[in-house]
Every structure is written in C-alpha cells, then in structure tokens.
Amino acid sequence: MIQNSLEYLRRNLNWQILSIFLLAFSVTLYAGIVFHPVGADIQFHLEIARTYLHGENGMFAPFVMEINRMPYPFFFHFMLLPSVALNLYDGFIRFLQILSYPCALLFAMVLAKRYGKGTFHAVIVGLALIGSAAYLDLTFQIRPETLDAFLWLGLTFAFLSERKWLQITSGILGAYSHGLASLAVNGGQILYGRNKRTILIVTLACLPIVLISLFYVVPMFSKWVGVPVSSQARMFLTDWPSFTFSYLGALSLALPIVVWQAWKWKTQTLLTKLSIVTLTSSLLLLPIWYDRYYHYASIPLAFCLGDFACSHKKLAMVIMAFIIYFFVLGYLHLWLVNILGLWDVH
C-alpha cells in the first residue's frame, strides 16, 4: 500500500505543487519546533484521553457533558492515548501540527491535478487555501475537525478512484471521531454515490453513535443554538459580509460560482459535483457551528473555484489576481505570527 501511494504521488507531483507544499511546510515546521501545541481545543481533547487512561468512560465524562451537552465520540481520543500514556503528547501534537496543514494542502492539490483540470487547477487550489484563514483553522490545530479534513479528502479520493472500502472506512471513522458534525460533512457524498452496499454498511456501523447523539441533541441545541462558540462565530453573526470576505479570502469568490455550477450541474467534473454535494450537506452545521461551516467548506470551495477558473480563461486572470493578493497577505500573516510568537493567542 505504501509503495502504491508513493508511486501515485510520483506520477502526480510536479515542481509547482511541490513549491506550494514547501512554502506551507516551512511555516508549520518553524511553528512546530518553536511553539507548544496551538489552540485551546487540544487541551480539552487531551483531558478526555486522560479520562480513558484512568479507566473511565471519556465519552460521558462529567466535564464533557457539561461543556458539550452530548457524549464525545472516542476515536480521536484513542489516537491520542499512546502519547498521553507515555507522556509524549507535546512532541506528538507538535509533529502532527507540522504535517497536517501542508499535507492536507498537498492532498487537495494532487486531487485537483489528477481528477480536476490539471496543474493550473492544483495551483489555484494551493494558493487559495494558503490565503484562507478558514483553511488555517481547519488544518493547523489538532482536533477532530482536522481529522475530518483528511477523512473527507480520503472519501473524495475513494469516490473518484472507486475504492469502496476506503469510502466505508472514511465514513465510519469520521462518525466515531466527530459524530454528527462529520456525518453532515461526509454523509451527502456517501448518499450521492447511491451504492446500496456502501450506504448500508456505513449506516449500520454508525447507528450506535447516531442514536446516542440524537438522544442528547435537544439539550445540546438548547445550549448552543444562537450562541457563538468562538470569536469567528461572533463575527459571522454580527458582520457576515465582511467576515466572509476576510475569513475565506479569495475562496469567497467561489460562493456565487458554486450556485452557477450547481445550475450547470451536468457539465461539471465529478470532483466539482462532490464538492457541491459536500457544501450542501454541510449546511446542517449552520445552526450551531457557523464558523466551522466555513472551515469544512474551504477545500470544496477551492476545488470549485479552480474548476471555474480553468474553464473561463477570460475571468481566470481576475480570479488569479484575487488569489495572489490573499495568498501574499495570508502567507505574510503566517510568518508574522511565527516571528512575533502569537500562536497562543491566534
């Protein structure tokens, strides 16, 4: 499997994709070496992992139910257990932070090149994502949402390459890592495949976590609906237009484009169709996770934006101007945060 993966990368990499990957990797390598794990969320998830280590049920731990109002699925915390048990979690999380942001970027660019419209499509995807704060928040902090990004990319690759086992695995692992949020992101794509066997296996396997989550969904909604859970969510509610433009960056151009692509559905590539399906199913996140909808939307929006630019040469230069503008701002911002040591408050 590893040999096949390396051969796949060799066939689909070129200097443009590698250059963008290395630009992103340089930022996270510096941050991972110099700074402690970024974000408050990881401390919450490490505490859940410690609960399992003490022989308790972390899904239903009192502090989890108090904060979350519903049980938290276990898979992500089981991934943390070895590093917590060996007291190596700081180094382990740093290692993951170094790799997650650039590797998800690389994965997305390779998919765009292989199943989209070639190198130009991949370059647009890479530059647009680096210029998006939403993508940074999706993949730089280590949390279940970060794992969701890789599982969605894996699910998309599985769909495009007709690997049913990988579709099934990605869907199930997402549900047992991030529950209803992951099912909202991945479920649309699984249903769109219309493969009865895949849908049946994923449904039966995920049924226990779905039933548990639905039992607690009312108290969870009563606590969180209309309550911004982050500064980004607060800006989403109070100043949606300017927040969207600044948070998504050039990806905000894709919002009206996606509507047009959905209207012209039959002419779209399968990669673009899967992205539109995900953007639609992920709307279920909006009642609670306003800003996180934009996190999950960042990669699908990049695919749609790149597809459109490749198909409309006259508009491509205008789109590229916006992409380069936000790319320069975003990349300089990342290094400014690095140099000034602002990751703890970012």
pLDDT single digits (tens) 17-54 = 999 999 999 999 988 888 777 677 888 999 999 999 98
Would 19 be classed as within a structural domain? no
- HSE-CB at 194 with a 13 A cutoff on CA atoms is 2
Query: What pLDDT score does 346 carry?
Result: 43
In a domain, residue 222? The reply is yes
**Residue 6 domain-assigned (yes or no):** no
Judge contact between 316 and 307, C-beta under 8 A: no
Whether residue 42 contacts residue 144, with contact meaning beta carbons closer than 8 Å, is answered with no
Is residue 177 within 8 Å of 75, Cβ to Cβ?
yes
Crossing angle (nearest 10°) for helices 119-130 and 313-340: 40
* pLDDT score recorded for residue 13: 72
Residue 213's domain comprises 24-345
Closest CA to 189 of 164, 226, 218, 225: 164
Select from 214, 211, 200, 209 the least CA-distant residue to 168. 200
In 36-115 the beta strands, taken as DSSP E runs, fall at none
Looking at the domain assignment, is residue 156 inside a domain?
Answer: yes
Residue whose tokens read 């396997």: 205
Residue 329 contacts residue 131 (beta carbons within 8 Å): yes
User: For position 10, what pLDDT does the model report?
Assistant: 61
In this prediction, residue 344 carries a pLDDT of 56
In the block, tokens 């953007």 appear at: 279
> Could you tell me the two tokens for 314?
């006259």
What residues of the chain score a pLDDT lower than 50?
Answer: 345-346
Q: What domain count does the chain have?
A: 1
